[in-house]
Amino acid sequence: MTDSKKSMGVVVLVGAGPGDAGLLTLKGKDWLEHADVVVYDYLANARLLRHCRASAETIFAGKKSGQTTLTQEAINALLIEKARQGKVVVRLKGGDPFIFGRGGEETIALRKAGIAFRVVPGVSSAIGVSAYAGIPLTHRDFSSTISFITGSNEKGKEDLHIDWEKIASRSGTLVFLMGARKLQRITDNLIKFGKSPDTPIAVIQWGTTARQKTWTGTLKTIVGIAQKEKISPPALTIVGEVVNLKPQMDWFETLPLFGKSIVITRAEEQADSMMNLLLDQGAEPLLFPAIETVPPDDWGPLDQAQNHLDNYQGLIFTSVNGVRYFFQRLQATGKDIRELKGLRIYAIGPKTERAVTDLGIRVDVVPEEYVAESLLASMGRENIKGQRFLLPRAMLARETLPDALRSLGAAIDVVPAYRTRRPTGGAEELIKRLQNGTVDAVTFTASSTVNNFLERIGPEAKGLLAKTVIACIGPITAKTAEKEDLKVAVVAREYTVAGLVTALEEFFTQRKTP
């Protein structure tokens, strides 16, 4: 990307992939990070918008089950208008822009208007969804050809303008995109023009996401199955012998947390690691931050401590946030890590340790258990009497560690490096899902997330959570939840986000076992 292109305006068609946000290409991510405007489709995962700058304008232009937000002509005009304003415009399209994505129409309109454009290919639903369903489109024993066929057309006309005789005569794999509402017509015509009624067929709905469902049958049975199961778009249809390979190659739908909707209550800026762990195990993460971190009301105490770091023998970090805000402030006041020379560094757990070591600083002590009591035990094995420690942390936190260190004869200065607060509003969608039973688990990673979650949801929270799995990162958080009359089903043995996800995997796996 060059400054000259940005000054004259450019439109970039980016394939968003079939649903899983992790299938976005690196080049697509790069354009999103630099976009001034993003015009996105219904089938483009909204999580991808997190790659955008806060200042980027995002415009929904999706089409859902025949309902159109903007006509194609209006979308073309919008892209041209924004580009003429000298902006970098990303047109984020589900799947691949040039495979039944109307990318051809948009680029022709841009060329006619004299607008520069780029195209970033995406993982087509034909490729991505079939892979996640465990159905290879080719196999040397069954199929050496693939046909991609649209199951839809402009204005919802019944006639798909397909040469059914030619299509039905092909021996390879047939892949119909957007064909859920035309399934009867598709199967009838394939049989009419020579396909065996016993030809295997699969229909995959919401492919590559935790909502994925796969139905298999034959050309003569699949319509009945679809009617019984009320299959609706978005769905991909695969016809051919390769469908019979699914039982041997299934992988996504067998993941331990597949299909589970799990609420993350961590601060948004800290949620990515847990979100990715859940996605890797097939879950649907629902981000509902019960806490957010902001700078302290007054930097004075931390500045004073950082100005006299040579007065301390040790520096204690009990959270990743403490590390982040401490070093951000150190840098903002014109200092760097050389100020820490001679200090022993203590970290409460592996994530906090990683945050420190990523800055090129070695951590001296990490306890076996990742709680303040275990860190205290580790420090107690050292001769700390008469030594002075600095603990930069949240404005409000437990006094267990400071009080115990003082009882051992150490001096400790506790200074606020950040503060936490409860986000407000935005609970309606989660309340609705809790009411209709489409939340499988709610996770808590700190006592404050328990209290803030209940306050955000309101008086009905405890009743709504009665039939939902409550999972806590450790015993202290679990104790807080139980004090609020919540029934805790899962407590991580290792008090980390990874440990919590592992505990959830074990819980749901045991629940499935007869």
CATH assignment, 127-254: 3.30.950.10
383 with 405: CB under 8 angstroms? no
Is pLDDT at 159 greater than 80 in this prediction? no
pLDDT of 447-487, one tens digit each? 999 999 999 999 999 999 999 999 999 999 999 999 999 99
Distances (CA, A) of 484 to 428, 451, 454: 22, 8, 9
Structure tokens at 380: 């107690």
3-state secondary structure 252-287: HHHCCCCCCEEEECCCHHHCHHHHHHHHHCCCEEEE
pLDDT tops 90 at residue 151: no
The model carries a pTM of: 0.81
Contacts of 191 (CB under 8 A, 6+ apart): 197, 219, 220
Q: Which residues have CB under 8 Å from 156's CB, separation 6+?
A: 66
**Topology alike, domains 261-291+424-512 and 294-420:** yes
What fold is seen in the domain 261-291+424-512?
A: Rossmann fold (3.40.50)
Cα distance between the two ends of the chain: 56
Q: How far apart are CA 399 and CA 402, in angstroms?
A: 6
Give tens-digit pLDDT for 302-329.
Answer: 999 999 999 999 999 998 999 999 999 9
Q: Cα–Cα distance between 223 and 217 in angstroms, integer?
A: 9
CB 286 within 8 A of CB 439: yes
Q: What is the mean pLDDT of residues 180-202?
A: 96
178 is catalytic: yes
The single residue of 20, 93, 178, 379 carrying the catalytic annotation is 178
Q: How many percent of the chain have pLDDT more than 70?
A: 95
Domain boundaries, the chain: 8-123, 127-254, 261-291+424-512, 294-420
| Per-residue pLDDT band at 513 (split at 50, 70, 90) | low
The separation between CA 279 and the C-alpha centre of its own chain, rounded to angstroms, equals 7
Which DSSP symbol is given to 365? Answer: B
Give me the pLDDT at residue 5, please. 46
The residue among 393, 367, 399 whose CA lies nearest residue 296 is: 393
* The one catalytic residue among 6, 27, 29, 63: 63
Main-chain phi, psi angles of 297, to 5 degrees:
-60, -30
Taking CA 297 as the corner, what is the angle to CA 445 and CA 313, rounded to the nearest 5 degrees? 75
Catalytic one among 36, 41, 96, 440? Answer: 41
Q: Which of 93-97, 342-346, 372-376, 475-479 has the lowest mean pLDDT?
A: 372-376
State residue 4's pLDDT score: 44
CATH code reported for the domain at 294-420: 3.40.50.10090
pLDDT at residue 2 tops 80: no
**Percentage of the chain lying above the pLDDT 90 cut:** 79
Residue 303 designated active-site: no
Instruction: Tell me the CATH class for 8-123.
Output: alpha beta
Q: Which of 263, 293, 196 is nearest to 445 (CA)?
A: 263
Q: How far apart are CA 181 and CA 64, in angstroms?
A: 13
Cis link prior to 301 (omega < 30° from 0)?
no
pLDDT of residue 511: 85
